[in-house]
Amino acid sequence: MYSAIGAGLAAIGAGIGVGFIGGKGLEAIARQPEAANDLRTNMLITAALVEAVALFACVIAFLGQK
Amino acid sequence: MIKQWFVYISIYLGMSFGVLKAQNAHGNAPENHGNQPTHQAQGEHATENHGASAKKFDLNELILNHIGNTNEFHLWGDLSIPLPCILYSKEDGLNTFLSSEWHHGHKAYNRYVSDHGAVRRIKDASFPSGSVALEGHGEHFIEHQQANGEEVGSITHQGKKYELEKPSGLLAGTSFYDFSITKNVFTMLLAALLLFFIFRYVAGRYKTHPNQAPTGIQNLMEVLVMFIVNEVAKPMLGDRYLKFLPYLLTIFFFILTCNVLGLIPVFPGGANVTGNIATTAALALIAFIVVNVNGKADYWKHIFWMPGVPVLMKIFLAPIELIGVFTKPFSLMIRLFANITAGHIIILALVGLIFVFGQAGQSIGGSIGGAAISVPFTLFLSIIELLVAFLQAFIFTILTASYIGAATEEHHH
């Protein structure tokens, strides 16, 4: 059960992080639509980096299940 | 358009209820609950459909069985497509046989047994070789016990207990090596063959029809290849992109094909290749080698003796940067593995809701209620997974390209 709580906490962190990236990214695209392609690529890469941290936590939670 | 979608959704619903019905057919055992011997016999019979509906429905076990690697493609009920097992040990030499010799774990073959997809060997050399029936209770043919913090497996044959070795591994120290063509290996070979023939055909088309608009699959491949060239290789690697383009295209298409094959629930797909930590570890190891072998003097200088910072800081930064060399491929490995596995677990958990609500086939109303919730959600998540399958292949490629780009960059101070 504790591992599930850990996974949930990690999801909160990743949610905040990805939310920030998406929000700021869309803001930037709205300001400068012609740069949308570059911004989108960088947005995805940053989101993947943020997500990786949460997934590390999920894997540890998964391993710590027993 | 709407009509087309209606047809797709009907097929999806039909397939879901087909599964439901198969599950119901095996779930009738609890009716003669009072009669112990009959129940035992029924329980043993029910194990044939890999234990999902025997007695109580265990969602965790179902999920772990489905995301794991096995020696057969399970279709439905007792039906499965066997795959070749190739096992080598010093005393016995090479053993090759089809996994159907195990009869879904009911039998041992040449002292080898199958433990939920992992091949294990019976320690005692006096155990008869050839096909030997095991004695089990219900679904359990292999007993698992904890001794000194380690898992010890054992089987029973003619009332006598035999201990099992651990599954084969690089550092497991077992007496045998497992080179079997498992579900994952089969799917990897299939992906490689598929890509080989597709690209051979596409390359041939460019030769036979020069200066013409691409058609069919050539069209699709051109879009994807140009996407990697223009969005990944050129921005990350600059004018050095041609040297690394074959590698980048290979990993992109391999990961993409394996991801998409993993989303198909039936035979040619169904293997969780990129959701297997060993596969992603191998991909990350190749990325690690490519990055570090091509690393220029500047790259190593930035790791061991960071220019432009005070000497004390240089000493402090060196170990951190050195750890960074290893954490980059490590994060590549974990990211791909965790993303694909998480997607599969969520879809399996949603499909499993049907059996949780339906109490493993005892309650039809509950099953229908569960299906009503799980089918639309599964459809939705399958579409998300399609995006993730593409996105993760792209992310793996672009991050590898950016690591290569950083390692091969020549700075001019």
CB contact under 8 A, A45 and B334: no
Is residue B14 very low, low, confident or very high in pLDDT (cuts 50, 70, 90)?
low
pLDDT value at position B220? Answer: 92
Comparing CA positions, the residue from B340, B318, B328, B329 lying closest to residue B391 is: B340
Point out the residue among B334, B394, B399 whose CB comes nearest to the CB of A59: B334
Comparing CA positions, the residue from B55, B393, B410, B392 lying closest to residue B250 is: B393
Q: What is the 3-state composition of chain B as percent helix, strand, coil, each rounded to the nearest 5?
A: 60, 15, 25
Point out the residue among B231, B335, B391 whose CB comes nearest to the CB of A55: B335
CB B380 within 8 Å of CB B231:
no
pLDDT value at position B200? Answer: 94
Alpha-carbon distance of B43 to B35, in angstroms, equals: 12
**Is 80 exceeded by the pLDDT of residue B56?**
no
Q: Report the domain count for chain A.
A: 1
pLDDT value at position B246? Answer: 94
Q: Is residue A60 part of a domain?
A: yes
**pLDDT tens digits, residue range B61-118?**
788 888 888 888 888 777 888 888 888 888 878 888 888 888 777 788 888 888 777 8
pLDDT value at position B5? Answer: 58
**Is 90 exceeded by the pLDDT of residue A8?**
no
Q: What tokens appear for B243 in the block?
A: 């040297």
Comparing CA positions, the residue from B18, B71, B26 lying closest to residue B47 is: B26
Chain A: nearest CA to B226, how far in angstroms?
Answer: 15
Q: Is residue A65 part of a domain?
A: yes
Alpha-carbon distance of A43 to A50, in angstroms, equals: 11
pLDDT value at position B54? Answer: 46
Top-confidence range, A50-54, A60-64, B274-278: B274-278
Q: What tokens appear for B49 in the block?
A: 């459909």
CB contact under 8 A, A55 and B395: no
CB contact under 8 A, A41 and B231: yes
**Is 90 exceeded by the pLDDT of residue B292?**
yes
The sheet that has B131-133: what strands, in order across it? Answer: B118-121, B112-115, B107-109, B131-133
Helix (H) or strand (E) holding B374: helix B364-408
**pLDDT tens digits, residue range B321-362?**
999 999 999 989 988 998 898 889 888 888 888 888 877 667
Q: Which domain range does residue A19 map to?
A: 1-30+50-66
**Is 60 exceeded by the pLDDT of residue A66?**
no
> CB-based burial of residue B154 (10 Å sphere; 0-12 exposed, 13-18 middle, 19+ buried)?
middle
CB contact under 8 A, B398 and A41: yes
Chain A residues touching B231 at Cβ < 8 A:
41
Contacts of A20 (CB under 8 A, 6+ apart): none
Residue from B63, B331, B346, B403 whose CB has the most chain A CBs within 10 Å, to mutate? B331
Chain A: nearest CA to B381, how far in angstroms?
Answer: 18
pLDDT value at position B413? Answer: 56
Residue B337 contacts A, CB cutoff 8 Å: yes
pLDDT value at position B404? Answer: 94
Assessment of whether the complete model's pTM goes beyond 0.90: no
Higher confidence at residue A6 or residue B223?
B223
Considering only alpha carbons, which residue of chain A is nearest residue B395? A45
Considering only alpha carbons, which residue of chain B is nearest residue A56? B334
**pLDDT tens digits, residue range A24-58?**
999 999 999 999 988 988 888 888 878 877 877 77
pLDDT value at position B12? Answer: 54
CB B136 within 8 Å of CB B103:
no
Q: Is residue A43 part of a domain?
A: no
Chain A residues touching B344 at Cβ < 8 A:
none
CB contact under 8 A, A48 and B402: no
Q: Is residue A41 part of a domain?
A: no
Is residue B397 very low, low, confident or very high in pLDDT (cuts 50, 70, 90)?
very high
Helix (H) or strand (E) holding B75: strand B72-76
Considering only alpha carbons, which residue of chain B is nearest residue A58? B338
**pLDDT tens digits, residue range B191-208?**
999 999 999 999 999 999
